[in-house]
Amino acid sequence: MNRTLVKQAIAAAALACLPFVSQAQDYPAKPITMIVPFPPGGVADLTARPLAPAMEKVLKQPVLIVNRTGAGGQVGMTAVAKSEPDGYTILMALSSISIFPVSDRINGKTPAYEMKDFAPIALISADPTVLVVRADAPWKDIKQFIASAKAYPGQINYSSSGVYGTLHVAMEILSNAAGIKLFHVPYQGAGPAVTALLGGQVHALATGPAAAAKQMQAGKMRALGSWGDKRLAALPDVPTFKELGYDAEFYIWAGVVAPAATPAPVIQKLRAAVREAVASQEFKDTMTKLQTPIAYKDAPEFKEYWDRDAKRLEAALHKIGKVGDK
């Protein structure tokens, strides 16, 4: 190839890159949609609601919350994975994002998305789930609960955010660790699952500590134990399953992600916007009211955390196996 052709090839490549450079420089030029793959009332929604307006102040564009629910969160997650990677569709993800590719393969299905389809932006919070029952339930502690479950296998039921969702997996981890069998009643999100417990439709629920603390203060729930490696500051009297001798650990983390092919300059702007939003006093005050500690990690640290958590969840899912196999 002569020099003229080389120069023409370089010029053509440079011109081809111009639209992407311009797009990144102008970003954001229109409203951004933040998909919450669960109904209102759950961890993802409660985190997204105060984060969106804080991001708007940084980005100078509206950040619109859209609850796109279904299949325990998989519908909304898949929609973002397959959306245009231009930075205008992002996801408030929970730890269940790591579950569905594994659970699909366990059940002989082609995964709707893979982990490589997402780019991490920032981790916002990471709290262990808490096992709760109604305040008028007969169980005063986890030992009584487990004793009843062993005496009446399959007769104590629990609600969840959906099959293989975070709340389902947490309860199955405990069931395996304690050697008990519970009956699973899936709902279309954490909010409806909490409503089912409060309405007496189910006996128990694994939930985020913010929802548990709020309902406990209202005298409607009792917490029996948590899936953390140490007791929660908001619930200091609630023991962990680990300290009680059960190898059960699980966290509901909430973090912002984007489609993997989103241009790097756009990712950088989103990272900066979330970083500033999380540091704002308004966001901090809201999370304090929700009794949800901020556990911010920027993209590189978030990816490391996510990878570790995904490996733990994969191991737990293989123990659970196909739903209905037990």
CATH number for position 145: 3.40.190.10
Residues whose CB is less than 8 angstroms from the CB of residue 93 and which lie 6 or more positions away in sequence, other chains included: 37, 44, 77, 118, 254, 255, 256, 257
Tell me, what CATH number does 316's domain have?
3.40.190.150
In a domain, 139, yes or no: yes
Q: Which of 226, 261, 294 is the last residue of a domain?
A: 226
Does residue 152 share a domain with residue 91? no
What does the alpha-carbon distance between residue 202 and residue 184 come to, in Å, rounded to a whole number?
9
- Contact, 205 vs 135, CB < 8 A? no
Minimal CA–CA distance to 48: which of 271, 255, 273?
Answer: 255
pLDDT tens for the 326 residues of the chain, in order: 455 655 565 555 555 555 545 556 799 999 999 999 998 888 899 999 999 999 999 999 999 999 999 888 899 999 999 999 999 999 999 999 999 999 999 999 999 999 999 999 999 999 899 999 999 999 999 999 999 999 999 999 999 988 888 889 999 999 999 999 999 999 988 888 999 999 999 999 999 887 788 898 899 999 999 999 999 988 899 999 999 999 999 998 999 999 999 999 999 999 999 999 999 999 999 998 888 889 999 999 999 999 999 998 998 898 888 865 44
Q: Would you say 204 and 158 are in contact if contact means Cβ atoms under 8 Å apart?
A: yes
CB 166, CB 94: distance < 8 Å:
yes
Instruction: Identify the pLDDT of residue 326.
Output: 43
The reply to whether 64 and 199 lie within a common domain is: no
Q: Are residues 157 and 193 in the same domain?
A: yes
> What is the number of domains present in the chain?
2
Of 209, 226, 243, the one marking the end of a domain is 226
241 in a structural domain: no
pLDDT at 9: 55
Residue 272: domain span: 31-126+252-320
pTM score, whole prediction: 0.81
pLDDT at 293: 87
Q: Is residue 73 in some structural domain?
A: yes
247 within a domain of the structure (yes/no):
no
Nearest to 162 by CA among 185, 181, 183: 185
| Same-domain pairing of 199 and 61 | no
Same domain, 139 and 119: no
Show which of 191, 226, 261 is a domain's final residue.
226
* 315 & 256 share domain: yes
User: Is 235 within the bounds of a domain?
Assistant: no
- Asked if residue 167 belongs to a domain, the reply is yes
Residues in the chain: 326
11 falls within a domain:
no
Please tell me the predicted confidence (pLDDT) of residue 27: 97
Spatial CA neighbour of 252 closest among 116, 73, 107: 73
Give the pLDDT score at 3: 59
- What's the pLDDT at 180? 96
